[in-house]
Amino acid sequence: MKRIGITTTVPIEILLAAGYKPVDLNNLFITSKDYSKYIDRAERDGFPKSSCAWIKGIYGACLEHKIEEVIGVIGGDCSNTKALIEVLKLLGIKFYPFAYPHNRSLEKVKESLDDFMDLFGVTLEEVEEERKSLKKARDLAKRIDELTFKENKATGFENHLYQVSCSDFDGDILGFEKELKDKIEDIKRRDPLNKEIRLGFIGVPPMTADIYEYVNKFNAYFVYNEVQREFAFPRANRVNNIYEQYYDYTYPYDIEFRLEVIKKEIEKRNLDAIIHYTQAFCYREIEDILIKDKLDIPILSVSGDKFNYLDSRTELRLEAFLDMLGDLKGVKG
């Protein structure tokens, strides 16, 4: 199967129907032991220091892994992605456009998906077949989520990892299913985590994935990963077709629908507080204003840049925040 790079969640059912193997360039970048070399390469090639590390990492991963074709999301993603695609085109990488409509309307989503299907010459029936073939892996990822927030057995990091991986199913759907099944059996055998402060993580998936381990040093743990969970399409079983599935996806549209879903999850998962993660130089840092205004729960905003570990200032802020939450709850923080 020919590889095709993706820079964010796109309707991969269409790519699979067209015989491609989608590869999430974010995952190639961040799981590399040598992730900083991707950033260095981008900066050497002219990306400004003041551009987000994800964009530079994606660029570096695309070139280092010799990806020849990419999906460029030209609507519903950031302007950095648009500029990135222009640079990749200049280097001879073939690009296929996909646009989420700005306004969340089923009719507009349908138009976007139909255009994308036409571009790859696939039919709705073929795409629905692929949608069915992903059901099992999506259900298993959902089971990991339940083991996190209902049974308190899966860690926040496991929850993050297995849901974020649903953007491309690690390039091997059957292998990914098997890994999830084994992991679920392993998690089920554990005793529940004995922690009092229940946290939600919202915002782009973190560069600094050690945040999960760090909060575990205290009386706290993450039981919700907002965007990662959206990548896994947890409500896919409730919809009738691919159009409704991507209409029900919160991340690319205006923030209202996203906040609605977050509010439900705060309630359902009995959260004590939210950590809002943003990436330095990302326009989504500005959304922090809206998030703090609209959500009635303690929120700590943290920001990462180009290292994959927390800096000591962020660690101190997290510690103080957890301490304060412990006082509010009458438990040790």
Q: Given the rule CB under 6 A, which residues bind ligand SF4?
A: 52, 54-55, 78, 80-81, 204, 279, 282, 284
Q: Count of CB atoms within 10 A of residue 207's CB?
A: 25
Strand, coil or helix: what is 182? helix
Helices 287-294 + 255-268 axis angle, to 10: 40
Cα 154 to Cα 239: distance, rounded to the nearest angstrom: 27
Nearer Cβ to ligand SF4 (76/156): 76
* CB 77 to ligand SF4: min, Å: 6
Strand, coil or helix: what is 98? strand
* CB 305 to ligand SF4: min, Å: 11
CA distances from 326 to 105, 271, 320, 323 (A): 42, 13, 10, 5
Cα 260 to Cα 247: distance, rounded to the nearest angstrom: 14
* CB 327 to ligand SF4: min, Å: 33
Nearer Cβ to ligand SF4 (57/156): 57
Nearer Cβ to ligand SF4 (42/52): 52
* CB 44 to ligand SF4: min, Å: 19
Strand, coil or helix: what is 162? helix
* CB 82 to ligand SF4: min, Å: 10
CB closest to ligand SF4, residue no: 282
Residue with tokens 């759907």, as numbered in its chain: 173
* CB 103 to ligand SF4: min, Å: 19
* CB 238 to ligand SF4: min, Å: 27
Nearer Cβ to ligand SF4 (31/241): 31
221 near 195, Cβ under 8 Å? yes
The β-bridge relationship of strands 94-99 and 20-24 is: unpaired
Strand, coil or helix: what is 50? coil
Which value, in Å, is the radius of gyration of the alpha carbons in the chain? 19
Q: Exposure string (b/e) for 85-120, b if CB count within 10 Å is 16 or more? A: bebbeeeebeebebbbbeebeeebbbebbeebbeeb
Strand, coil or helix: what is 68? coil
Closest CA to 45 of 30, 23, 58, 60: 60
Nearer Cβ to ligand SF4 (216/308): 308
Nearer Cβ to ligand SF4 (109/204): 204
Nearer Cβ to ligand SF4 (254/327): 254
Nearer Cβ to ligand SF4 (3/284): 284
Nearer Cβ to ligand SF4 (25/271): 25
Cα 259 to Cα 254: distance, rounded to the nearest angstrom: 9
* CB 85 to ligand SF4: min, Å: 12
* CB 140 to ligand SF4: min, Å: 27
